[in-house]
Amino acid sequence: MSDLLSDRTRLDRYPARGKHDFETIAAILDEGFFCHVGFVQNGQPYVIPTGYGRDGQSLYIHGSASSRMLNRAGQEIPICVTVTLVDGLVLARSAFHSSVNYRSVVILGNAEKVEGPAKLQALKVIVDQIVPGRWDSLRPVTQREVDETTVLKLDIVEASAKIRSGPPVDDEEDYALPIWAGTLDFAPLSAAPKADARLRAGLPVPDHVRQYRRVRK
């Protein structure tokens, strides 16, 4: 079990909620599909939301070749990638102890540009992270589309996870108050597929769409 703990990824508050083993971090990353990428340009921090895919110890992000975020992050400057899964609301008897159940990951490192055949594989990883099995059902990408896309790889070697779960933790004297308290869990995402208005007639919903679930692993 590899350990991704460093001085920079050690949690200060509630350290017991922190995890630094690769397996825990990978499980959270695999359940999500969008992240926030933080970087500094001319002294100004930017935090930009975007999609990602994980393959082994690599995290891939992609986008337009003209994207500022990808161009800046691709210059091998330090970046910070954060993934957040919100599992539910923690409704305590006071505002102070009200909270959220969540699992989150922070990864620090320097991203590098992916070129050549590895770029196509990385694009497949990103597409399949969002809907597993989708890539193989799609029209193959063209060289122009590949050229117009920048792909970055960040090694997952310095990272942390933080997990909050369970009921509210109120002050002892507050438990007697006539205030409803508890948790409100968010259901897994699984909406019914809505066919495109211009869908070719007679096409069945494929299994990878019909069976789409984002369930807790």
Sites of contact with ligand FAD (CB under 6 A): 8-9, 11-13, 84, 86, 100, 102, 104-106, 160-162
| 9 vs 75 by CB, closer to ligand FAD | 9
Minimum distance of ligand FAD from residue 25's CB (angstroms): 9
Helix (H) or strand (E) holding 54: strand 53-55
| 97 vs 134 by CB, closer to ligand FAD | 97
**In this structure, are residues 148 and 65 in contact, taking their beta carbons and an 8 Å threshold?**
yes
| 17 vs 113 by CB, closer to ligand FAD | 17
CA atoms within 13 A on the CB side of 31: 20
Minimum distance of ligand FAD from residue 29's CB (angstroms): 12
Q: What CA–CA distance (Å, rounded) separates 170 from 177?
A: 11
Report how far apart, in Å, the C-alpha atoms of 108 and of each of 23, 38, 111, 182, 194 are.
Answer: 17, 10, 9, 35, 38
Q: Which residue's Cβ lies closest to ligand FAD?
A: 162
| 86 vs 179 by CB, closer to ligand FAD | 86
For residue 98, give the amino acid letter.
S
Minimum distance of ligand FAD from residue 124's CB (angstroms): 28
Minimum distance of ligand FAD from residue 105's CB (angstroms): 6
What number of other Cβ atoms are within 10 A of residue 137's Cβ? Answer: 12
Structure tokens at 91: 């409704």
Minimum distance of ligand FAD from residue 3's CB (angstroms): 13
| 37 vs 114 by CB, closer to ligand FAD | 37
Adjacency order of strands within the sheet including 53-55: 53-55, 58-64, 149-155, 112-113
